[in-house]
Each structure stands twice: as C-alpha cells, then as structure tokens.
Amino acid sequence: MPDITGINKEVTGCVLCVVSRKRGLDIPISRPAFFSRQHIQPACHGQNAFTTPPLTRKRKAAAATLVDNEPKTAATKASVALSPAATTTSSSGQLSRKKQKPADQDPDTDFTLATPGSFSVPVRSKEEEDIDTPASTSMESDEDFMSVGSSPDDFLDTQGSDVESLGEDFGDDFDGGFSKDKDIIATKRKPYEVEFSVLSPEDIDREQNLQINEVSSILGLPPESSAILLRYGRWNREKLIESYMDHPEKTLEEAGLGTNFDGTPHTEVIPGFVCDICCEDGDDLETYAMRCGHRFCVDCYRHYLRQKIREEGEAARIECPSDSCNMIVDSKSLGLLVTDDLKERYHALLTRTYVDDKDNLKWCPAPNCEYAIDCPVKQRDLRRIVPTVQCDCRHYFCFGCTLNDHQPAPCTLVKMWLKKCEDDSETANWISANTKECPRCHSTIEKNGGCNHMTCRKCKHEFCWMCMGLWSEHGTSWYNCNRYEEKSGSDARSAQARSRASLERYLHYYNRYANHEQSAKLDKDLYLKTEKKMTSLQSQSGLSWIEVQFLDTASQALQQCRQTLKWTYAFAYYLARNNLTEIFEDNQKDLEMAVESLSEMFEKPVPELANLKVDILDKTAYCNKRRVILLSDTAENLKNGEWSFNVEW
C-alpha cells in the first residue's frame, strides 16, 4: 500500500474524485460548505474543484485500498501516484515537493498546469502549511466526516458556490481557476465612461509627500530640497532622476538649489550688521540668510515672503531677495520666518501648484470645491474620447477642457461651436443671405421693395437685383428679369444661395440647442422645487419619504438627458451625412421623445403624481436607457474613427 501521509496537501488526485470514479460517478463536485478555502484547487473538476481536508486513519486506509484496487493504467498512475522525482520525505514523515519548477508550470502563476486525469496544487511554504494544518483532527468515521455543517447534497450542488469569494485567502492575484479576466466578473465600463478617481486635499498631500520621500531616499538629498527639484521637473520623477544622475550640479543650479548643503540655516544676531534692504543696523538686529549667503534682517525677510505669498500668490518659486540670486526659499526656511496662517496659505498654494503641474490631475471647477480629479486621459486622446468625470460634490465636467459635461461632442468641436454662437459669424451669414453688393462700388445694399431696379445711393449705379447686370440693358422688363445670366451674376446668386442654406442649417441646430438649454434651466428650477413637491405629495397621498423619491430621480434624469440632447445638436452640426448619421438621428429622436413625455408627466399637479408613480418610474428608466444607447453608440464610433466631419479639427 503506498504511503499517502499528507495527501491533503501534496496529492495529484483528489480522494473524493477517486471514490467517485470507483463508484461509477462521473460528475463534477462543488466545494462543500465545510471545506476551507485553503483546499480549493483550480484545475480539478474545472472551476469548482477542491482537495480533501485532513484525513482520518480509516479514510486513509479506504483511499489506499481504492488506489491499490484501481487498474494500473497510465492515467490512474498520473492521477494518484506521486512521482518520486517530484517529492521527498520530510523529517515528520510527510511528503513534500522539491524546490524546483515543474516543466509544465506556467511562469506567471503559482499553480501547475493540469494534465488529463490529474490536478495540481499550489506550492506553499512551510509556514503556510503549519498555519493551515490543524493540530489534531477528530473524524473517526465517514458519518463524522460528512456531518460537519453540510449534507451529501452539497457535493452535487454545482451552483451554490460563491465565485467571487473563492480567491479571498489566496490574495488579489488569485483568479479561482478562471481562464478569463477578472474584469468579466466586475461591471463592464460603458464606451463613453473613463477611469478616474477623486482626491481630497489630504490625498494630494499624501501623494506629494510620498514622491518627495522616494526622491529624497534615491538622491540622498533633504526632503525640502527634493521637493524643489520635483517642482522644477514638474513631478516627472524618472526624467528628474535621470537628469540628476547625468548632470547633478547643472540640475541643482537650474532648480534653484545650488550645490552647498552644509549647515542648517538659522536666524542669527550679528553686531554691526547693516541690512541691504532697509539699511537698518543695531547690535540686537536679528538676521537670516539661506545657503546662498545673502543675509537680510528678519523683518525685511518676513515682509518679502508675506508679499510673495499673500499678494502675488507665489509659493513654489520664491527666490532669494537678492537681485542676483535665484536660490529658491524652501519650506524649512520659510517655517522659521512666517506665522502659522501664512504657512497654511503657503502649503495651500503648493498643493494647487502640484495639481496644476501634473497632466493627470485637474481641479473640480465647481464653486468652492476643494477636490481634484485624477484621470489618465492624455491630450492626444481627446479626438477619440470625451472624458466626462463626476466629482464628489456631484458636479459633472469634462476632464479635457473642464467645461460642463458636453457628451457626445469632443472638446475641439465644442469650442468651435461656442465660438460660432458667440461671435458675429452668423450676422455675416445673414448679411450675405439678405443683401447684395453694388457691382460698381461694392457697397452693401438691402432690398426694401418689390422692384428689381436698384439704384446705389452711393455711386448712383443702376443695376438689376436678379442678375446684377446693367439696368439699361433690360429694356421694358422692369419687374421680371428673363435675360440669360452672365457668369458674374450666376456666381453672385450661387454664393447667396449657399450663404442662405448655411444660415438655415445653422439656425436649425442652434434653435434646438438653445431650446434644450432653456428647458434644462427650467427643469433645474423645477428640481429646486422638487423637495417641496415631494413634501406636498407625501402629506396628500400618505406615501412615505422613501416612496416619493421617484420625483427626485426623475428630475435628475431630466437634467442629465437635456444636457446630452443639447450637445447632440452641436455634434450633429459638424457631422457629414452618411448612414451613421441616420442612426444617430434616430437615437436622438427616441431620446427626445422620451424626455418630452417624462417632462410632461413631471409637471402634472401634485394630486395626480401619486397615480403616475409607476409611469414616471418606467419613463425615467427608459430615458436613462435611451441616453446610454445614444452615448455608447456615438462614443464607440468616435473611438474607432467612424465619424466623418464637414470641418477640419
């Protein structure tokens, strides 16, 4: 009979699997409730495999008997017997795996690859084995073995195990034996969503200090000097360290540190000293100098720092008061000279500088908000994505341009649209569409009557409004020009037609854009009154406060959908017509119809709202769904470069 001591740790075949095969049961067995997660094996029985807990003498003997009675086929030997070359006997008499990597082991995981008729186990250290192995096990019968908080049905329940909890005891890298990515289990990010995180001022300070300490330990410089170096290099640690290693003295000089790090700057009273700023002298005059050696009285130094911090808003690049010196005042020196309130202002400015210097950080533009957003989207990616983020203050904005949420329109098109709406470009279009220039003096003329005979008031030139030709050549056809148009007249009329078509197209999109913008403002005013309406509905209908929250949900959905619809018209204005445009307009129409329907229900009198609760909830969900469909389809095509535009951007 083979030695199976320690089979629960090092066997290459599960005892229960052997028992099942012996009894003719070819079924996958899920992990019973009483099995600890330390016994789960990802390669045996697919994804729901396990190994047995510590065995009693009776079960060891029974398993050994089954092994001896098995036909000695190659598959059986591979699934039950341990290879002598892969195992050794420890001092405790248990089998253990040699400190070598099997040939079939995946280099990126701690688990060996399974072969037919066998399964593999994780290689664990001696300390892990001592923790996982119980000191004693009291299971003297099969009944005891099966009675620990479970029933035989647990073995056959392949749907009862919690997939997400399988890897808890193996660490974050354990995937429970799944061949797919862990992201499949998590909620999939929508095409128009981006990865981001919200940072509080404390988080920003923590990040700064972490980077400063890392650079300080690598370069062997004081933390305050490392902070100045990082600000000089805009917090690009790799580039800064490389520059310092290649040219240390040059890097220190350009950063404003100098090469002298001897001694600690401190205030000092020097008899007979004369300050170069205030020209004061005295035996008790307190002075201060940085490592550059330029010494001034403490009062002048404090006044200089106060002016820089409070009036100029400078903190990261405060230089020595001497005109010829560019050494930067570090935080340690400043702490000796200024008051506590000025220190707080100084550190707040340093925090703002840190966020401004890093491309992946931006402040939330909401009034009085102190949070920053960390987003990995680069400037070059803004042609393919609209990075909308949400701050903890509930403000949505675009990380690329910090304007309010403008999905699905990219930042560049948004800026072009806003400029077009604000400048006089459309005034010029109107002038071009409704006026003409005198063929002789090129003065702009507006037609104020039905007669086609025009006389320029400036040069007295007479011409035909229809063909722009000389009126003297028209004979008696005063009110109806039927002459063949000359080339110049045809060009003028074509240009006028193009200008009129361009104006009509712009007004089509602008009117709908402005309408949704105005409706969004009205909906926002309505949202501010929503709480009052909810209170009124609660008192009149007998509903609880939780039950009337559907009004708040509907109001937020209305605002969000209006914002999206507004920018779909700006986006559509720059789109070239194709099949994708037709699909886009269909999605736009569906969302617009749903929003108008929800808005109409939301404005019903309060007594009717209780009866419309189900309809409002359904319509709110439908609006949100249509918005997701519209944004997802647009973002997917934008990411893949499928859209064609009628402008260069």
Tracing tokens 């409730």 back to the chain, one arrives at: 33
Torsion of CA 81, 84, 89, 95, to 10 degrees: -30
**Rounded distance, CA 1 to CA 401, Å?**
75
Let me know if 561 is a catalytic residue: no
Q: How many Cβ atoms are within 10 Å of 37's Cβ, its own excluded? A: 15
**Rounded distance, CA 447 to CA 375, Å?**
56
Q: What is the DSSP letter of 450?
A: S
- Mind giving me the DSSP string for 451-514? --EEE-TTT--EEETTT--BGGGGTT--S---SPPPHHHHHHHHHHHHHHHHHHHHHHHHHHHH
Which class for 632: exposed (0-12), middle (13-18), buried (19 or more C-beta within 10 A)? middle
Which class for 517: exposed (0-12), middle (13-18), buried (19 or more C-beta within 10 A)? middle
SS3 306: helix
Catalytic residue among 411, 451, 456, 623: 451
Residues 6+ away with beta carbon under 8 Å from 159: 30
**Could you tell me whether strands 372-374 and 197-199 are parallel, antiparallel, or unpaired per DSSP bridges?**
antiparallel
Report yes or no: 179 and 622 within 8 Å, Cβ to Cβ.
Answer: no
Token code pair at residue 5: 């001591």
Q: Which candidate, 381, 320, 389, 384, places its Cα nearest to that of 361? A: 389
Token code pair at residue 53: 């807990």
- Mind giving me the DSSP string for 265-276? ---EE-TT-B-T
**Rounded distance, CA 316 to CA 325, Å?**
16
Cα 409 vs. chain centroid, distance in angstroms? 18
Amino acid at 170: F
Token code pair at residue 330: 């570090």
SS3 322: coil
Amino acid at 350: L
**Could you tell me whether strands 197-199 and 95-97 are parallel, antiparallel, or unpaired per DSSP bridges?**
unpaired
Q: Which candidate, 512, 618, 635, places its Cα nearest to that of 565? A: 512
SS3 324: coil
SS3 647: coil
Which class for 389: exposed (0-12), middle (13-18), buried (19 or more C-beta within 10 A)? buried
Strand pairing partners for 112? 105
Secondary structure (H, E, C), 149-163: CCCCHHHHCCCCCCH
- Residues annotated as catalytic are 451
